[in-house]
A = this chain, B = another copy of it.
Amino acid sequence: MEDAIGMERIKVGVLGGTGMVGQRFIQLLDRHPWFEVAEVAASERSAGRPYEEVMEGRWKLDSDIPPLVAQLQVKECTPDLDCRLVFSALDANVAGPIEEEFAQAGYVVSSNSRNHRMDPDVPLLIPEVNPDHLEVIPIQRRRWTRGGYIITNPNCSTIGLVMPLAPLHKKFGVAKVIVTTLQALSGAGYPGVASLDIIDNVIPFIGGEEAKMEAEPLKILGRLEEGRFVSAELKVSASCTRVSVRDGHLESVSVELNQKASSEDLIETWEEFDPLAGYELPSAPSPPIVVRREDDRPQPRMDRDEGRGMACVVGRVRECPILDYKFFVLSHNTIRGAAGAAILNAEYLYKKGYLS
């Protein structure tokens, strides 16, 4: 199928296309100028039936299922899909070996799953932050031999933290970060959090989340030395909670810098940050970091859709009596924190010639 300007679109597949993140992939890829969802794969249970039928009562987004995808026959997650690029929204219980099979078979896998994020030759990519990490792809390709490889995007709560840290780290050096998250319900998938558990309540625990937030930023902000990742020298301490919000993770952050900076320096650094300007990636927000100066922002419901859900919104920058500065940051957990991130990664790969 061709798009408006006559370009042939690249066929893509969505692995795990029936869950919350899988649905977002399908929604966000609808009418994408470069990519076209040609395949949806899911568990054996769903395979063999039209996507629309499988999703009866399970499609949870406000917009309807895109008509072309609605008609697709759901496939199993085996590497015989008619496409070159697959997005993985697979559950961590199964994602590991399936993604490897696809890479082995020559597919490019842009994964939102956590399984391969910390692998030594897999980029944990944020195009605005560590595009140079793509240099490990040739190393990885050697492993799989048939041209395939895996790239990953960070955990939904990590990305909201790393986006504002990255330009600070580059300019002033970030030494220490203490963060408490207030995370949205959609982050737990569907059915996820029981309504009885969250009405008039907060749950101060999300399994495995704090460990991910304390480890992933070190790889993302780290550097490559002769094809090997060297962790950034900063420490992160995370405390994660679940609140009664549909979408949008809010994070309360305290940060210590290596070099002195004023709060205006921070704001300026964020407002000037737009490393993808000029790339014309369809999903790249411009700017990627929006600073609000009101007293009471960012708020999940008001700010999660900034940059069509791809921007991070920072606010309430103020001095911290213990570390240097405090601020809040908000990001949309199933767009910038999941499906949108993996799509942006693939767009960047395409622009840089990694899909050919």
Contacts and interface: CB of A to CB of B under 8 A. Distances in A.
A195 B194 CA distance: 5
B250 A301 contact: no
Interface stretch (A65-73, A144-152, A231-239, A271-279): A231-239
Contact of A300 (B202, B296, B328): B202
Contacts of A295: 205, 207
A176 interface: yes
A192 B190 contact: no
A192 B195 CA distance: 8
B205 A296 contact: yes
Interface stretch (A102-110, A180-188, A341-349): A180-188
A321 interface: yes
A254 B300 contact: no
A17 interface: no
Nearest to A63: B305
Given A204-B299, A237-B320, A250-B202, A60 B328 contact: no
A214 to B, nearest CB: 6
A322 B235 contact: yes
A178 B323 contact: yes
Nearest to A319: B237
A246 interface: yes
A297 interface: yes
A277 B172 CA distance: 52
Given A197-B195, A250-B241, A252-B241, A204 B236 contact: no
A106 B300 CA distance: 45
A199 interface: yes
B326 A237 contact: yes
Interface in A326-341: 326, 328
A200 B62 CA distance: 13
B252 A204 contact: yes
B205 A316 contact: yes
Contacts of A191: 191, 194, 196-197
A293 to B, nearest CB: 11
A236 B326 CA distance: 13
Given A241-B250, A322-B235, A328-B239, A199 B185 contact: yes
22 contacts: A176-B322, A177-B322, A185-B195, A185-B199, A186-B196, A190-B194, A191-B194, A194-B194, A195-B244, A199-B244, A199-B245, A199-B301, A200-B200, A201-B300, A204-B252, A204-B328, A205-B316, A207-B295, A214-B321, A239-B252, A239-B328, A241-B252
Interface of A: 20, 56-57, 60, 62, 176-178, 180, 182, 185-186, 190-205, 207, 214, 235-237, 239, 241, 243-246, 250, 252, 254, 294-302, 305, 315-316, 320-323, 326, 328
Given A60-B196, A235-B322, A239-B326, 9 more contacts: A182-B241, A194-B194, A194-B195, A195-B197, A199-B301, A202-B243, A237-B320, A237-B322, A239-B316
Query: What are the 7 tightest A-B residue pairs by CB atom distance, in nearest-first order?
Result: A191-B194, A180-B180, A205-B296, A180-B252, A201-B301, A239-B252, A195-B195
